[in-house]
């Protein structure tokens, strides 16, 4: 009697799990999951191109054609650029510009690329 209950429960779990797995394309988008949990970013230049992290001004196709074996773009930077693209609804180039200006600002560098430090001396 106990085995009957165990096997019927096991069969029910397997059938429900299979049904959920096969229909995940319908119900998964309805679940709100934080970006940091379900944001799988590619780890190659080809994957970066497929994810839309390229443009005519920032072309990664040369890396793929040359067979570059590096892991692609920086994962943290990709995540930040994707967030900017989602939140501000801008294209890749604009999001990359915003990200670069933010990074410059954190390191006390102006948008033109020159340090903001008053002690900075430059000889041209």
The mean pLDDT of the chain is 81
Q: What DSSP element (H or E) covers 85?
A: helix 75-88
Residues 29-58, mean pLDDT to the nearest whole number: 69
Tens of pLDDT, residue by residue over 63-120, are 777 776 676 677 788 888 888 888 888 988 899 899 989 998 888 888 787 888 888 8
58: phi then psi, degrees, rounded to nearest 5: -130, 75
Predicted local confidence at residue 42, as pLDDT:
58
Rounded CA Rg of the chain: 24
Q: Is the pLDDT score of 11 beyond 90?
A: yes
Predicted local confidence at residue 38, as pLDDT:
44
């Amino acid at each position: 009697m106990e085995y009957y209950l165990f096997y019927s429960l096991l069969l029910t779990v397997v059938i429900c799990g299979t049904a959920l797995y096969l229909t995940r394309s319908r119900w998964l988008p309805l679940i709100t999951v934080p970006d940091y949990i379900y944001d799988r970013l590619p780890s190659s230049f080809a994957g970066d191109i497929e994810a839309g992290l390229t443009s005519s001004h920032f072309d990664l196709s040369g890396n793929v054609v040359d067979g570059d074996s590096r892991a692609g773009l920086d994962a943290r930077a990709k995540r930040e650029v994707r967030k900017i693209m989602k939140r501000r609804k801008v294209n890749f180039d604009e999001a990359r510009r915003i990200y670069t200006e933010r990074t410059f600002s954190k390191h006390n560098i102006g948008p033109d690329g020159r340090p903001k430090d008053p002690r900075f001396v430059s000889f041209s």
